[in-house]
Structure 1
Amino acid sequence: MNRHHARIVVGAILFLVVAMGIGRFSLTPILPFMREAEGLSVEKGGWLASANYIGYFIGALWAGFIVRNQKKGLHINAWICVLSILGMGIVNNFYLWLFLRLINGITGGLIFVLTSSMLLDYLARNSLSKWSGYVFSGIGIGIALSGILVPYFQKYFSWQGDFIGLSILSTVFVLTNHFLWKKLENPSIEKIKGPSQKFWTGFMPWITIAYGFEGLGYIITGTFLVDMIHEMPSLQNYASYSWVIVGIGAIPSAPIWSILMAKYKPIIILASAYILQIIGIFLPILSPTIFGVMGSALLFGITFVGIVVLTTSYCRELYPTKSASVVSTLTSYYAIGQIIGPIIAGKLATYFGGYNSALIFAGSVITFALCLLLFGRRYSQVKLNANTSTA
């Protein structure tokens, strides 16, 4: 990879650091401090998370309709995303927080879909698709940075300082992206010659719906992991470190899963990622120790980015001429699950007086998603073979 291509990839990584790792997921390590200082209930914390995912759903859908000036749209949304992070540290009203998390989600959905589709297409055009997994490492880098910096900022500036400090860091990253992407042209909109592909056929509905249930289940850990550990008196001091472990697991996961998918059957690798995530979700219940919760954090980091990359890459292989539509559709279903997950988890945790019930629910949902994935693959393959034999 030459210097120009490297600059484009690093610029994309920085976009995902800001939009996903910081903008979207920094609430997780900050939430325990917000709840402690502001008296927020678990249920209200769930609503803050869900407001972001409602926005993410809107942004993901919206991105599917943006075909011109994508680069300009990305930069505008990146700056709005930074302002929404900053606003969380300035205002002190629950309903304004909901609004800011909604705006942050909209910009995050737009940035994720546009960055992913632009970069995956760019790498494909330049015969560099093997580097696509590295782009998604930005999510893990952002998570690790927020996990490291949040306790430090909170110690000296309270939870408001967390958001302000992270918004300043995000500003630096967006400015750097402007420099790195200076020579990147908007993707050309060309009519694809040849027969058009039917989009919602075969295995696509099954993998998409399973992906939606995955979004519902995984986001419960993604929202409440740090707060859950913070609630354990013997492990409270390790709560913030757990989010660093998530980031460390997430950073190399995309390229590792991509390499595995290239060597073995994609469905086997994808199913393996689901199984590891299910084990990680149940670990804190089976072993409420430092090893159990840190193992859970590591498995969560390794798998949640991996499942995103594997699912997106696999579906793009099935429909190579529908890149933006594939990413937008998958992200939309994923977002629907994410909207519902924190609300249900908040209610379960409030009703049962702890997070175990929420984790059991999350693990059960992802187990169902795995069954749906495997059954759908088998069913669509049998149907395809039957159609081929009768043709």
Structure 2
Amino acid sequence: MLRFLSGFASAVVFVIASSMIMDRLSQLQAGIFYGGVGAGILLTGVSVPLLAKTGDWIEVWKGLGLISLLLGLTAWYLLRDKDKHSGAKTAQSPRNEQTSGVRRILIWLTIAYGLEGLGYIVTGTYLVAYAKTVSSLPNIASLSWILVGIAGAPSCILWSKLASQWGKKWTLTFSMILQSVGIAIPVLIHSSTAVFVGAFLFGATFMGITMLTVSFAKDLYPQSNRKIIGLLTTFFGLGQIIGPLIAGHLISGNGSYLSALIGAALIVLLGAVILPLGIGSADRKRLKLIR
């Protein structure tokens, strides 16, 4: 029940926060905004070993909950006055013509993002556990998770710059291919170095994919941000539900992470492949934002 509530709350926060600020941020500023997730992972990777020294895992969860509460209250305090006047400052973007091409692009984008959710969560769930089976290096699990955060914090800024040159479609495709490689490397090359490389690639891509997807959808439907982000988050969440169920069954069945992680890599790769194929057949002439 607590996991359900926390997952529901995180989805609500993501949808509301994204819809509040996406119209007010440049692409570079959006990269900084989504990089906050990587900073949070880094904070978790550093704080969990310290909290674990004070007691059992129950105390660790209490400590993380307290940190989240303090950060949440701080954000609420800093934003409470500005939010009163935010509506008047929001510039309305012209509505895109609701062509079948726009809807078709959104469908393929949603499918790809759902596949990303399925593949991403398997890695996010089992990366730390798998790292422990690879090496006896002290704290390799914590170190790999810290590396995810280090790579994730600045990654969205870099992806936003790359998207301005390549376009969101090809940047999103490339980031998903890179993530699939990062998921597979630790399994195919059984070493500590491979774990760290995989953790870095995973951290460098997972929030970038989210930022690019949300930004892409905002370009398609500039006046329906909250609704469209909610739709994308729903399919992403469905992937997050299905992924651990399948992966847990595979791991318990053969006692190995190989099939689960390779399967996750292939799922993300599938999303990367179908995205440009599906969008490529849409009406490009009427949708100049697609490249």
TM above 0.5, yes or no, is yes
The answer to whether 1:309 aligns with 2:211 is: yes
Structure 2 stretches lacking a partner, 5+ long: 287-291
Structure 2 CA distance for partners of 1:195 and 1:165, relative to 1, 3 Å: closer
The answer to whether 1:259 aligns with 2:161 is: yes
- For residues 350-387 of structure 1, the C-alpha deviation after alignment (integer angstroms, 9 at most, x for no partner) is 11111111011101111211121121021114xx559x
Structure 2 CA distance for partners of 1:151 and 1:374, relative to 1, 3 Å: same
Instruction: Return the offset for 1:312.
Output: 0.8
Question: Which residue of the partner structure matches residue 289 of structure 2?
Answer: none
State TM-score, norm by structure 1: 0.68
Instruction: Return the offset for 1:236.
Output: 5.9
Question: Which residue of the partner structure matches residue 243 of structure 2?
Answer: 341
Question: Which residue of the partner structure matches residue 136 of structure 1?
Answer: 34
Give the AA of the match of 1:292. Answer: A
Larger relative contact order, structure 1 or 2 (CA cutoff 8 Å, min sep 6)? 2
Percent identity of paired positions between Structure 1 and Structure 2? 37
- 1:52-131 equivalences in 2 (<5 Å): 99-123=1-25, 128-131=26-29
Spell out structure 1 runs of 4+ moving beyond 4 A.
192-197
* Equivalent-residue separation in structure 2 for 1:175 and 1:254 (angstroms): 25
Please give the secondary structure, in 1, of the residue aligned with 2:156: helix
* Equivalent-residue separation in structure 2 for 1:235 and 1:211 (angstroms): 35
Instruction: Return the offset for 1:233.
Output: 4.9
Question: Which residue of the partner structure matches residue 171 of structure 1?
Answer: 69
* Equivalent-residue separation in structure 1 for 2:163 and 2:135 (angstroms): 41
* Equivalent-residue separation in structure 2 for 1:294 and 1:129 (angstroms): 29
* Equivalent-residue separation in structure 2 for 1:248 and 1:201 (angstroms): 36
- Which range is displaced more, 236-245 or 357-366? 236-245
Instruction: Return the offset for 1:132.
Output: 1.5
Question: Which residue of the partner structure matches residue 282 of structure 1?
Answer: 184
* Equivalent-residue separation in structure 1 for 2:153 and 2:30 (angstroms): 13
Please give the secondary structure, in 1, of the residue aligned with 2:229: helix
State TM-score, norm by structure 2: 0.90
In the alignment, is the contact (CA less than 8 A) between 2:173 and 2:273 conserved in 1? no
* Equivalent-residue separation in structure 2 for 1:156 and 1:193 (angstroms): 52
Residue 231 (structure 1) aligned to one of 126, 133, 158: 133
Please give the secondary structure, in 2, of the residue aligned with 1:156: coil
Structure 2 CA distance for partners of 1:211 and 1:193, relative to 1, 3 Å: closer
In the alignment, is the contact (CA less than 8 A) between 1:139 and 1:305 conserved in 2? yes
Question: Which residue of the partner structure matches residue 183 of structure 1?
Answer: 81
- 1:239-388 equivalences in 2 (<5 Å): 239-381=141-283
* Equivalent-residue separation in structure 2 for 1:266 and 1:122 (angstroms): 19
- For residues 12-65 of structure 1, the C-alpha deviation after alignment (integer angstroms, 9 at most, x for no partner) is xxxxxxxxxxxxxxxxxxxxxxxxxxxxxxxxxxxxxxxxxxxxxxxxxxxxxx
Structure 2 CA distance for partners of 1:323 and 1:278, relative to 1, 3 Å: same
Please give the secondary structure, in 1, of the residue aligned with 2:281: helix
Instruction: Return the offset for 1:342.
Output: 0.7
Question: Which residue of the partner structure matches residue 198 of structure 1?
Answer: 98
In the alignment, is the contact (CA less than 8 A) between 1:206 and 1:376 conserved in 2? yes
Structure 2 CA distance for partners of 1:181 and 1:285, relative to 1, 3 Å: same
Structure 1 stretches lacking a partner, 5+ long: 1-98, 387-391
Instruction: Return the offset for 1:272.
Output: 1.1
* Equivalent-residue separation in structure 1 for 2:221 and 2:202 (angstroms): 28
Give the AA of the match of 2:261. Answer: L
* Equivalent-residue separation in structure 2 for 1:112 and 1:153 (angstroms): 27
Q: CA RMSD in A?
A: 2.3
Give the AA of the match of 1:188. Answer: G
Structure 2 CA distance for partners of 1:193 and 1:295, relative to 1, 3 Å: closer
Give the AA of the match of 1:274. Answer: M
Structure 2 CA distance for partners of 1:148 and 1:328, relative to 1, 3 Å: same
Residue 120 (structure 2) aligned to one of 198, 218, 237: 218
Instruction: Return the offset for 1:231.
Output: 2.9
* Equivalent-residue separation in structure 2 for 1:152 and 1:289 (angstroms): 26
In the alignment, is the contact (CA less than 8 A) between 1:230 and 1:236 conserved in 2? no
